Chains A and B, each alone.
Chain A
Amino acid sequence: MNFNSSEFALFLPLVLLLYAIVFHSERLRDGLLLLASYVFYMAWYWQYAGLIAFSTCVDYIIGRRMAAEKNKKKRKLLLIISLTTNLGLLAIFKYFNFFAGTTSEVFKAMGMDVPIIYHELLLPVGISFYTFQTLSYTIDIYRGRIDHEPNFIKFATFVSFFPQLVAGPIVRAADFLPQLNRTPNVSQAQFNFGLMLVFIGLFKKIVIADLLAHLAVDAVFQNPSGFSSWDLLMALYAYTFQIYCDFSGYTDIAIGVAAMFGFVLPQNFNRPYISQSVREFWTRWHISLSSWLRDYLYISLGGNRGTRVRTAFNLMITMLLGGLWHGAAMNFIYWGGYHGLLLVLAHFFGSREESPSFFKKFYRQIITFHLIVFGWLLFRVTDMQNFVDYTGGLASSDLSGTQLSPLFYTILLIAILMHLIPRDWISNHILNPFHRLPVIFRAGVYSAALLLFLGFTLDAPSFIYFQF
């Protein structure tokens, strides 16, 4: 079920109504959240609910046994079982065909024709997200950071909580399970805030991301040679904001919906394109993933505790695997490698100046922004030929007019402004005064917004990060 679907527009109020009715019974509340989460997931492809249930059962049992086990070796063995099971499922469903295909290519290049087996299984939506989520649970128990969750329903709800099930943010057990174990504090203000975030997220997705894709990105990336360098550059900027608005829009909706149920999800984006370095970008972009990779991969590899060369190696491995997490395709590996290289270069040569001047700061932001933009080109292209065509078109400096419409430029400008305006300013000058309006006025504004979204919805495309 997509957040930007009519189905979800009915599902959410209905679940909230039932939630309000059973709110004071902890068992019914937990049961309802779990049931709603599975209904939400099964609306996409009901067969794959079994996969989440399987992961949930495995990690629940392992968590219990690990907590009871004092023997270090046995605890390690249990952790290995959890890692193998979860990553094994991920490998089968997400990476098997990619590696089989790559192996086949290697054999072909060596002149050997080895028959390769492919599967035709659909990629389960959200598998990368919930796998990382359950892994954080068993790893944290192993590291002694958290205790196991004795209540199976609560644990299953943590794994499958529908607002963030399919595209994050990736929630840590240490952050979420305690919230399930106390009565959620849902105030009117929190509920209003949640609803507002849902509408902001929908605006980012439907009005900004989908329109940028429709008005320029899809057509330009499909046939780069048919456009001038100016259009190619604009479409690349547009994709930069499309992917941000698409993903952060999803996150806003997830955080908003969770807030309406009384839960706090971690912030996932913090105006990433104003970063002054690539390192800073990764503290502002997909924060829940980058912090997961830092805590469970980079630090496990040794982090920055070894030599500078070893740290660089750890950075590169982390970013390559981070790229591969996004999808089983070479361009995601190149994208991860590119960011890894930028981080390594920053590690060796980066400036550590604490308070640069305004112009220096601005200069760094512009440079960093364009480095990130180039990375998105690697991320978006369909294959290397597409990349060559695109970069070739950009480098040709052909400024022979534009095929892009005024509406496209307007939407791009709105996207840039939305990104540049500080969140506090928006809260103080728009959101807070809006919340003080009588409920009937707010309902009127939300109704108008819904109608606007309905008009702008072209084919209700899925969120980009659903595929990861």
Chain B
Amino acid sequence: MKLKYLSIFFLIGIIITSIELSLEYRAMQKGFYAHFISMFIGEPSNEIKHKDSFPYHSPAVPLKKTPGQIRFWMSSASYALGPSIDGAFPNVFCRTLNSAGESCEMINAGKAGMSINENIKQLENEAIHWQPDYVILYSMSLDIERLSNRFFGSKNSIDTQTENSENIVNKPTPSHLTVDQLIEEQVENTTIYKHLRRYIGGTVLMSSILHDDLTQEADKAFKTTLVKFIETTKSIGATPIFVGFAAKYTKENISKIDYEGTLWLLRYNKYLSPTGWVNTMSRFDKIMQQTAIEHEVVFISDVHNLIAGKTRLYKDFVHFTQAGHKQVGEAIASGFIDAKKTNRL
């Protein structure tokens, strides 16, 4: 055994590193994130820094409620994170209410990757201390993703195990990454990986057998989650409000979805076709509306009615542009004022 035998590994390392750095340089020139180059030259972070005492995406409010103010809690996910704090729709909503004569305080608690189950845990663990008057729920796509993993995924898949677990949020999170997680993370952040996933992985996913709808069991599971959300909200002394979900594509325009759009969907979920997504969203919207009626919860349909399918208001399938955030915030405010006027709140 001689050391020179290993030269081939060295050469493979050099070739792959060269390709990665070239692609990263090209990506940086176009203004995109470049993982390894950024490690050396640094990159201004676009992330909004929060104070530890107020880890939410809205102007800080004191823990103790100001008399006369209506305090809102936004249960959502990455959709509620705008390009800036002011621009995020929950804060647009609050400003619109204030200009209509209300006294609004918003705690925008939405965080990337949170499903409704995780929002429920957040209500139990965090919202209870902030004593909101109203809890607004704007969430759906992550639940579709998790439920399709649960019902279509392999019985042994991690997604399924996670979803089946009662302890979805409270499961112990390691304080540090294990070696394999660290390596995986580094690989997944490379520009090469992103390109490969996009072109090769994407082609594979598009060739898979995709489902055009979720199962009835998923409908039941979604309804159960909504009911639990209502009960939890009421248990912390707040009033729940549901907002109909709106996505870039609907049943009417799904045939126009392009390669990038399909790829974006498949990146998060490898079981549902684009048609499956819009069919499920449409049905889940009805379930949400029905559950709201059954439990006397206000359902604001304006966002879904006015914004769903308006492609120019979206950055991708579910995230809004600045203009989109503005319209969503105003639509929720209008729905809220209307509900108050008609004594539904």
How many angstroms between the C-alpha atoms of A20 and B2 in the bound complex?
A: 6
Evaluate contact between B1 and A454: CB separation under 8 angstroms.
no
Contact with A along B189-211 (1 / 0, CB 8 A): 00011001101110111011100
Evaluate contact between B207 and A20: CB separation under 8 angstroms.
no
Q: How far is the CB of B210 from chain A (nearest CB, A)?
A: 9
How many angstroms between the C-alpha atoms of A329 and B249 in the bound complex?
A: 45
Evaluate contact between B9 and A220: CB separation under 8 angstroms.
no
How many angstroms between the C-alpha atoms of A450 and B193 in the bound complex?
A: 11
Evaluate contact between A21 and B3: CB separation under 8 angstroms.
yes
Within 8 Å by CB of B6, from A20, A403, A408, lies A20
Evaluate contact between A6 and B187: CB separation under 8 angstroms.
yes
Chain B residues near A455 (CB-CB < 8 A): 196-197, 199-201
Give residues 3-23 of A contacting B (CB, 8 Å).
5-7, 10, 13, 16-17, 19-21, 23
Closest to B7 in A: A439
Which one, B35-43, B177-185, B282-290, is touching chain A? B177-185
Specify the main secondary structure of chain B where it touches its partner.
helix
Chain A residues near B3 (CB-CB < 8 A): 17, 20-21
How many angstroms between the C-alpha atoms of A195 and B205 in the bound complex?
A: 30
Evaluate contact between A405 and B11: CB separation under 8 angstroms.
no
How many angstroms between the C-alpha atoms of A335 and B193 in the bound complex?
A: 40
Evaluate contact between A215 and B207: CB separation under 8 angstroms.
yes
Closest to B154 in A: A218
How many angstroms between the C-alpha atoms of A187 and B152 in the bound complex?
A: 49
Q: Does B63 contact A (CB under 8 A)?
A: no
Give residues 448-468 of A contacting B (CB, 8 Å).
450-452, 454-459
Contact with A along B51-87 (1 / 0, CB 8 A): 0000000000000000000000000000000000000
| Range for the number of chain B residues in contact with chain A | 35 or more
How many angstroms between the C-alpha atoms of A191 and B5 in the bound complex?
A: 7
- Report if A451-B196 is in contact (Cβ < 8 Å); known contacts: A10-B183, A407-B204, A458-B201: yes
| Range for the number of chain A residues in contact with chain B | 35 or more
Chain B residues near A447 (CB-CB < 8 A): 12, 15-16, 19
Closest to B210 in A: A219
Within 8 Å by CB of A439, from B8, B183, B187, lies B8
Chain A residues near B203 (CB-CB < 8 A): 407
Evaluate contact between A1 and B208: CB separation under 8 angstroms.
no
Q: How far is the CB of A31 from chain B (nearest CB, A)?
A: 15
Evaluate contact between B208 and A214: CB separation under 8 angstroms.
yes
Evaluate contact between B1 and A262: CB separation under 8 angstroms.
yes
Q: Does B155 contact A (CB under 8 A)?
A: yes
Q: Does A222 contact B (CB under 8 A)?
A: yes
- Report if A440-B200 is in contact (Cβ < 8 Å); known contacts: A10-B183, A215-B207: no
Evaluate contact between A1 and B180: CB separation under 8 angstroms.
yes
Q: Does B270 contact A (CB under 8 A)?
A: yes
Closest to B2 in A: A20
Chain A residues near B200 (CB-CB < 8 A): 452, 455-456
Evaluate contact between B2 and A446: CB separation under 8 angstroms.
no
Q: How far is the CB of B239 from chain A (nearest CB, A)?
A: 41
Evaluate contact between B6 and A7: CB separation under 8 angstroms.
no
Evaluate contact between B15 and A443: CB separation under 8 angstroms.
yes
How many angstroms between the C-alpha atoms of A405 and B205 in the bound complex?
A: 11
Evaluate contact between A20 and B5: CB separation under 8 angstroms.
yes
Closest to B17 in A: A447
Evaluate contact between B201 and A186: CB separation under 8 angstroms.
no
Chain A residues near B196 (CB-CB < 8 A): 451, 454-455
How many angstroms between the C-alpha atoms of A104 and B242 in the bound complex?
A: 48
Evaluate contact between A215 and B209: CB separation under 8 angstroms.
yes
Q: Does A330 contact B (CB under 8 A)?
A: no
Evaluate contact between B180 and A440: CB separation under 8 angstroms.
no
Closest to B187 in A: A6
Evaluate contact between A184 and B1: CB separation under 8 angstroms.
yes
How many angstroms between the C-alpha atoms of A1 and B183 in the bound complex?
A: 12
- Report if A451-B208 is in contact (Cβ < 8 Å); known contacts: A10-B183, A20-B6, A443-B11: no
Chain A residues near B16 (CB-CB < 8 A): 447, 450-451
Specify the main secondary structure of chain A where it touches its partner.
helix
Q: How far is the CB of B269 from chain A (nearest CB, A)?
A: 12
Chain B residues near A16 (CB-CB < 8 A): 5-6, 9
Contact with B along A170-207 (1 / 0, CB 8 A): 00000000000000101010010001000000000000
Which of B154, B180, B203 is packed against the most chain A CB atoms within 10 Å? B180
Which of B197, B204, B270 is packed against the most chain A CB atoms within 10 Å? B204
Chain B residues near A450 (CB-CB < 8 A): 12, 16
Chain A residues near B209 (CB-CB < 8 A): 215-216, 219-220, 403-404
Evaluate contact between A5 and B15: CB separation under 8 angstroms.
no
How many angstroms between the C-alpha atoms of A23 and B11 in the bound complex?
A: 22
Contact with B along A25-48 (1 / 0, CB 8 A): 000000000000000000100000
Evaluate contact between A215 and B208: CB separation under 8 angstroms.
yes
Chain A residues near B8 (CB-CB < 8 A): 195, 439, 442-443, 446
Q: Does A111 contact B (CB under 8 A)?
A: no
Evaluate contact between A211 and B204: CB separation under 8 angstroms.
yes
Q: How far is the CB of A22 from chain B (nearest CB, A)?
A: 10
How many angstroms between the C-alpha atoms of A408 and B204 in the bound complex?
A: 9
Within 8 Å by CB of A215, from B184, B187, B204, lies B204
Contact with B along A204-233 (1 / 0, CB 8 A): 000000010011101110100000000000
- Report if A454-B207 is in contact (Cβ < 8 Å); known contacts: A6-B183, A21-B3, A443-B11: no
Q: Does A406 contact B (CB under 8 A)?
A: yes
Evaluate contact between B187 and A454: CB separation under 8 angstroms.
yes
Q: Does A444 contact B (CB under 8 A)?
A: yes
Chain A residues near B157 (CB-CB < 8 A): 459
How many angstroms between the C-alpha atoms of A69 and B300 in the bound complex?
A: 85
How many angstroms between the C-alpha atoms of A98 and B6 in the bound complex?
A: 47
How many angstroms between the C-alpha atoms of A463 and B8 in the bound complex?
A: 27
Evaluate contact between A407 and B12: CB separation under 8 angstroms.
no
Q: How far is the CB of B339 from chain A (nearest CB, A)?
A: 43
How many angstroms between the C-alpha atoms of A6 and B3 in the bound complex?
A: 23
Q: Does A427 contact B (CB under 8 A)?
A: no
Q: How far is the CB of A329 from chain B (nearest CB, A)?
A: 13
Closest to A462 in B: B156
A to B CB contacts below 8 Å, 27 in the list: A1-B180, A6-B180, A6-B184, A7-B179, A7-B184, A13-B9, A17-B6, A19-B1, A20-B2, A20-B5, A43-B180, A214-B270, A215-B208, A403-B209, A439-B8, A439-B11, A440-B11, A447-B12, A447-B16, A450-B12, A451-B16, A454-B196, A455-B201, A456-B201, A456-B204, A458-B204, A458-B270
Task: Other than A215-B204, A403-B209, A451-B196, give 7 A-B pairs with Cβ distance below 8 A.
Answer: A6-B180, A7-B180, A218-B154, A405-B208, A443-B8, A447-B16, A458-B204
Q: A residues touching B (Cβ–Cβ < 8 Å)? A: 1, 5-7, 10, 13, 16-17, 19-21, 23, 43, 184, 186, 188, 191, 195, 211, 214-216, 218-220, 222, 260-262, 382, 403-408, 439-440, 442-444, 446-447, 450-452, 454-459
Identify the 10 closest CB pairs spanning chains A and B, nearest first. A455-B200, A455-B196, A443-B11, A405-B207, A407-B207, A219-B209, A186-B1, A447-B15, A23-B1, A13-B9
